[in-house]
């Protein structure tokens, strides 16, 4: 996390005060921000910014504000920048449909701004990639808590008829409330070449070490099962401190050396290269609960163990002092409010005219890297984020299979029935379900 460059960084983007720089890449810059409590914003700006309902909380609500260079919206075809921005806005609206405690809420966006931006919940914690490389493979409790959180995240994404397509340890943040899956669509919107199209079929989008064989062959024609495979690859990393394959997916089983024994049965069922043979999210959830039960752990205890591991890792970044304040900078608040009162956008006093020049230099990640970098993504061609209704197995992947015994890439013992839930834990499960509903309605702005 770095201080703002007062000469080049804007102080405000849309209605978000910028507090620090989180990182920089080929697409632009990511800031730590906070929503300004502005009066008289007006329905036109409210709608144009795709803003969720503004609510004040006991703790400062922070946002990750991602700026996209306008040139990155162009698709290298006959489409104009205006058309590209319109499609960008449509995809932003689609992203708003993903609601869940394990995915960050879209807080606002502006595809028509001079510097197109979008803001999502900021997750204050390290990535899974950094945690495992620093602390080593996860024990059963943190491992089970991680897996259950990822299942919830994929349920939310798939429930909105979307695919993630780039689930990997670097896209999983470990915040104070547990794991959160990032970039379920931002990977498509903000991590591609300038020549990539917003609407054309892509080939090879994703990170090879964590993608399935069918996705490596044909990114467009994949189903939710491709994300399930990536979930298994992430869990393999959490258990072994390495991906199942070092470079690209292979039709042969991965090497199981060094993988924590109790994790092998589940991973063996997921990491198979025929999509129809992989377990469902419900089956994975049951296996993870059984793993915790076998170790005498409840879901709550496992989640606490993961939070403690993160807190003691020394990897949680220190927030700047002004991010801990309950109030925005009074000068920034006044200038933004004055602009709104005069009928302008709140960021109009700070709209820079040098951002493209600022980022023309070779893109670098500003945050110091003290762990091995993840494998680079594949060719950054755009693919639709919406599930293709005509999705089919990639060539060579095999036709849909009839019901058959469990297929696995690891020799398994006969499966054991799931242990009956502990009656003492049942009230906690009910409370957790109620909390999920409350957060879902909060995200949708209905409360």
Residues acting as catalytic residues: 166
**CA 67, CA 21: separation in Å to the nearest integer?**
11
**CA 50, CA 64: separation in Å to the nearest integer?**
15
Element (H, E) at 29: strand 28-35
According to DSSP, the residues that pair with 63 across neighbouring strands are 33, 121
- Tell me if residue 174 falls in helix, strand or coil: strand
Site of tokens 């490596």: 216
DSSP structure string for 296-314? T--HHHHHHHHHHHHHTTT
**CA 243, CA 168: separation in Å to the nearest integer?**
9
If you ran DSSP here, which 8-state letter would residue 76 be given? S
Query: Can you give the length of the chain in residues?
Result: 447
**CA 367, CA 63: separation in Å to the nearest integer?**
18
CA distance to 65, 72, 92, per residue, from 21 (Å): 9, 20, 23
Nearest to 337 by CA among 110, 65, 44, 12: 12
Question: Are 153 and 103 spatial neighbours (Cβ–Cβ below 8 Å)?
Answer: yes
Question: Are 124 and 281 spatial neighbours (Cβ–Cβ below 8 Å)?
Answer: no
């Amino acid at each position: 996390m770095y201080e703002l460059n007062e000469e080049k960084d804007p102080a405000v983007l849309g209605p978000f005060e910028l507090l620090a720089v989180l990182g920089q890449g080929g697409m632009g810059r990511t800031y730590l921000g906070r929503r300004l409590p502005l009066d008289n914003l007006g329905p036109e700006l409210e709608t144009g910014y795709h803003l969720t309902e503004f609510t004040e909380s006991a703790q400062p609500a922070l946002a990750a504000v991602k700026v996209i260079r306008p040139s990155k919206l162009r698709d290298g075809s006959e489409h104009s920048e205006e058309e590209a921005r319109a499609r960008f806005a449509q995809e932003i609206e689609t992203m708003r449909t993903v609601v869940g405690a394990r995915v960050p809420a879209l807080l606002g966006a502006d595809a028509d701004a001079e510097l197109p931006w979008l803001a999502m919940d900021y997750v204050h914690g390290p990535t899974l990639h950094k945690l495992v490389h620093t602390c080593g493979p996860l024990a059963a409790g943190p491992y089970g808590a991680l897996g259950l959180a990822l299942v919830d995240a994929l349920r939310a994404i798939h429930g909105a008829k979307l695919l993630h397509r780039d689930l990997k340890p670097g896209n999983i943040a470990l915040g104070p409330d547990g794991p959160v899956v990032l970039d379920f669509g931002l990977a498509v919107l903000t991590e591609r070449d300038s020549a990539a199209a917003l609407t054309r079929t892509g080939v090879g989008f994703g990170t090879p070490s964590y993608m399935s064989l069918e996705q490596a062959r044909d990114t467009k024609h994949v189903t939710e099962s491709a994300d399930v495979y990536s979930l298994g690859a992430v869990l393999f990393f959490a258990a072994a401190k390495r991906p199942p394959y070092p470079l690209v997916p292979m039709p042969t089983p991965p090497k199981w050396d060094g993988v924590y024994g109790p994790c092998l049965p589940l991973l063996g069922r997921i990491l198979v290269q025929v999509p129809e043979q992989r377990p469902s999210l419900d089956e994975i959830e049951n296996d993870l609960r059984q793993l915790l039960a076998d170790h005498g752990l409840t879901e709550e205890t496992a989640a606490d163990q993961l939070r403690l591991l993160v807190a003691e890792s020394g990897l949680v970044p220190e927030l700047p002092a002004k991010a801990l304040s309950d109030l925005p900078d009074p000068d920034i608040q006044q200038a933004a409010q004055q602009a709104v009162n005069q009928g302008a956008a709140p960021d109009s006093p700070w709209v820079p005219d040098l951002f493209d020049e600022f980022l023309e230099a070779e893109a670098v990640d500003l945050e110091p890297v003290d762990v091995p970098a993840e494998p680079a993504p594949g060719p950054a061609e755009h693919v639709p984020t919406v599930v293709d209704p005509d999705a089919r197995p990639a060539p060579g992947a095999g036709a849909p299979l009839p019901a058959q015994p469990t297929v696995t890439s690891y020799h398994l013992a006969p499966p054991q029935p799931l242990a009956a839930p502990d009656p003492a834990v049942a009230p906690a499960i009910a409370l957790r379900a109620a909390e999920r509903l409350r957060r879902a309605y909060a995200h949708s702005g209905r409360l």
